[in-house]
Structure 1
Amino acid sequence: MSQLMIFGAGYSGKAIAKSLQDTIGRICGTTRSAEHAQKLLSLGISPFIFDGDTLSETLRRELATVTHLVQSIAPGKTGDPLLRICSGDLKSLMPQLQWVAYLSTVGVYGNHDGAWVDEETPCKPVSARSLERVQAEQTWQMASDGADAPLSILRLSGIYGPGRNGFINLEKGTARRLIKPGQVFNRIRVEDIGAATAFLISQNVGGIFNVTDDEPAPPQDVVTFAAKMMGIAPPPEQAFETAELSAMARSFYGENKRVSNRKLRDMGYVFHYPDYRLALRQLWESDSWKDE
């Protein structure tokens, strides 16, 4: 029986589980809290507590029969938590492992002044967190090679969907229209992360894949469109240079690129939400924007 373990079964992890419920025999996921464990259980995901430092005996026993692995936990300064625990020897924990996915970010490409990038573009990360991601990708590739299991690295753009979207920010009054001439971002609906992962499992392939929409767009355009859908006035425009921003928020604007998803498309994957207009319209008209 096929068995999936999702390390870090959060927003993206739950979407992956949902996409695979009909094709994977048993789906498990880790979380840090007992409260979230109950939520996973209600979604048909067998929950296990993982604090990022040690594996319980119960979790170790479960890993012994895992065939498919998704790592969704971000690395820290000390590297990837799972690889640190097993010293990079995945087979020692998961002797039946057949396929691995690592959820990364398009931030690994760094800044390209608005030019297009694809999976062949060399990584030149700007932020410390993106540098950690590049290092994690490399260590996961070595570990997967050692386990003789194909590794799919999913480089994700800005994630949104039910419960996490521009409508929520507008309702809370936290939405902003920051204007930085020439700045664009790609985005991805969380459901496409789940469906793309299921597609890659069905193909049993490894490689690097940009999981991102078709249309890199200025962030203020997305806010304006969402406000129009809600029938409210958008927030006033603010110049990026003079806006008060956290260091992390400002660093996002230091990376300007257009990310291509052609590789996945050429393989036959069809994006459910290829642009923000279609995606936001669906969220609003289905009244599914409020709840995860």
Structure 2
Amino acid sequence: MNLFVFGLGFSARHFAESERARFGAVRGTVTEPARADALAAETGFTIRAFGPEADDPGIAGDLADTDMLLVSAPPAKDGDTVLARYRDVIAGSRIRWIGYLSTIGVYGDHGGAWIDETTPAVPKSARSQGRLAVEEAWLALGAETGKAVQVFRLSGIYGPGRNPIVKLREGRTQRIVKPGQVFNRIHVADIATTLAASIDRPRAGAIYNVTDDEPAPPQVVIEHAAALTGLPLPPEVDFGTAELSPMARSFYGENKRVRNRLIREELGVRLRYPTYREGLADLVADALG
């Protein structure tokens, strides 16, 4: 079976590379044409340019020769570019499994309470509202065509090259304190495990929270990373006075504890990194080089 990936970024690339043996051909997209050739050389995959200003003519043929489709490309302000350009091609193809990577941000703020997939999605930000609309559009395509479309709502993603240890080493992190604030996280390897499990056990219309077992305050995770490595611990910064981008600040406006029971009970997923402690411990050597 063949895989096509719209948006071969951090999470999707890890999945495609870690599960390479199960696919006959792997094809995917990046937004910059100049990046396509370089990534093809790195991965051995067929890479096409796709984005607001790019649309490789080979994509339609690739989709006609695809069995599994993973959509990791973020939506545009006016909706999902993939559906806008290729909905009919996908609908008429032999593709039988579609995974859409979304975010737990679609749930909005729950004041630190525990939530799961039965919790209504009430996104606060325009960005998350757009995500929810795209989720619904992909699920509608599945209902219309009989294809097994699954939505994966991811929490904060980390892994090799992208984690608190790297940020500490490079002096790019703050120890921000906002009383009561917690975030869930997910290691990129556990995302890949969940996607592979869904391919083995597809369920049309499914929505899964892909997250760890232990939501934790952000400053505690930074402190643990420093303790593991001996790297200098940045001073505490009160959230109210912290210098943050509008997007980063918006993350702190939502506080929830997200359960992952469904991926365990329905897909049989056993997280390799159930908390940030296991995940960071395994990343020390990689992060310190």
Fold shared by both chains (TM-score > 0.5): yes
- Quote the residue 1:122 is aligned against: 120
**For each residue in 1:159-209, what CA deviation from the matched residue of structure 2 results, as whole angstroms up to 9, or x when unmatched?**
010010111111111211111110000001111111110110011223000
- Quote the residue 1:134 is aligned against: 132
Retained in 2: the 8 A contact 1:31–1:37? no
190-199 or 29-38: which moved more?
A: 29-38
129-138 or 244-253: which moved more?
A: 244-253
* Alpha-carbon distance in structure 2 between the residues aligned to 1:23 and 1:237: 46
In structure 1, the residue corresponding to 2:160 is in which secondary structure? coil
* Alpha-carbon distance in structure 2 between the residues aligned to 1:249 and 1:279: 22
**For each residue in 1:27-84, what CA deviation from the matched residue of structure 2 results, as whole angstroms up to 9, or x when unmatched?**
1111123334422442232211113466433221111111110000111211000111
Cα pair distance change 1:88/1:137, threshold 3 Å: farther
* Alpha-carbon distance in structure 2 between the residues aligned to 1:20 and 1:102: 17
Tell me whether 1:237 sits opposite 2:236 in the alignment.
Answer: yes
Gaps of 5+ in 2: none
Aligned residues: 286
Cα pair distance change 1:52/1:41, threshold 3 Å: farther
Shift of 1:233: 3.1
- Quote the residue 1:165 is aligned against: 163
- Quote the residue 1:211 is aligned against: 210
- Quote the residue 1:19 is aligned against: 18
Alignment of 1:1-292 (within 5 A): 2-33=1-32, 34-52=34-52, 55-87=55-87, 90-92=90-92, 95-206=93-204, 207-267=206-266, 268-284=268-284, 287-289=285-287
* Alpha-carbon distance in structure 1 between the residues aligned to 2:81 and 2:50: 10
Shift of 1:108: 0.4
Cα pair distance change 1:114/1:13, threshold 3 Å: same
**For each residue in 1:185-241, what CA deviation from the matched residue of structure 2 results, as whole angstroms up to 9, or x when unmatched?**
000111111111011001122300011000000000000011111113311111111
* Alpha-carbon distance in structure 2 between the residues aligned to 1:279 and 1:127: 29
**CA root-mean-square deviation:** 1.6
Cα pair distance change 1:55/1:91, threshold 3 Å: farther
Identical columns (%): 43
* Alpha-carbon distance in structure 1 between the residues aligned to 2:198 and 2:219: 33
Q: Letter of the 1:255 partner, please give it.
A: E
Retained in 2: the 8 A contact 1:7–1:29? yes
* Alpha-carbon distance in structure 2 between the residues aligned to 1:196 and 1:290: 28
Retained in 2: the 8 A contact 1:163–1:290? no
Retained in 2: the 8 A contact 1:108–1:123? yes
TM-score calculated relative to the size of structure 2:
0.94
Retained in 2: the 8 A contact 1:227–1:234? yes
252-261 or 14-23: which moved more?
A: 14-23
* Alpha-carbon distance in structure 1 between the residues aligned to 2:37 and 2:178: 41
226-235 or 48-57: which moved more?
A: 48-57
In structure 1, the residue corresponding to 2:123 is in which secondary structure? coil
**For each residue in 1:87-139, what CA deviation from the matched residue of structure 2 results, as whole angstroms up to 9, or x when unmatched?**
566224xx111110000000000000000110110001011110000000000
Cα pair distance change 1:174/1:19, threshold 3 Å: same
* Alpha-carbon distance in structure 2 between the residues aligned to 1:231 and 1:278: 17
Cα pair distance change 1:154/1:10, threshold 3 Å: same
Gaps of 5+ in 1: none
* Alpha-carbon distance in structure 1 between the residues aligned to 2:139 and 2:91: 14
* Alpha-carbon distance in structure 2 between the residues aligned to 1:104 and 1:63: 21
Query: Which consecutive aligned stretches of 4+ in structure 1 deviate over 4 angstroms post-superposition?
Result: none
